[in-house]
Amino acid sequence: MKKNLALVTNLYYPAKGREYYREDILLSNLLRDHFRLILVHLEDLDAIASSVDVIFIRNTGPMAEHEPLLRGLQIEKDRSIFNDLS
């Protein structure tokens, strides 16, 4: 049975010299082979967090203001969160 994975991204994240949205679309296509994938913006994560097993954070901009929310979600269900929150 596939686990539910939230790929937290912002497809409109401005980056100089890189097209993060293309990377995240490619990554999401690869992850679909192994997980039931939910593509979500960080601002909407709390609304779907109870239905996911793994949270994978990409290209969302500064994390400092969201760290308390993410730490709480990590502890709540002992779920894995990737990228490093530091």
Q: Report the C-alpha gap between 79 and 86 in whole angstroms.
A: 17
User: How confident is the model over 15-74, as pLDDT tens digits?
Assistant: 788 888 898 999 999 999 999 999 998 888 888 888 998 888 887 666 666 777 777 777
| Backbone torsions φ then ψ of 64, nearest 5 degrees | -50, -45
d(CA 52, CA 59): 19
49 or 81, which is more confident?
49
What sign for the dihedral angle of Cα 23, 18, 84, 57? negative
The 8-class DSSP code of residue 74 comes to: H
Res 63: pLDDT:
64
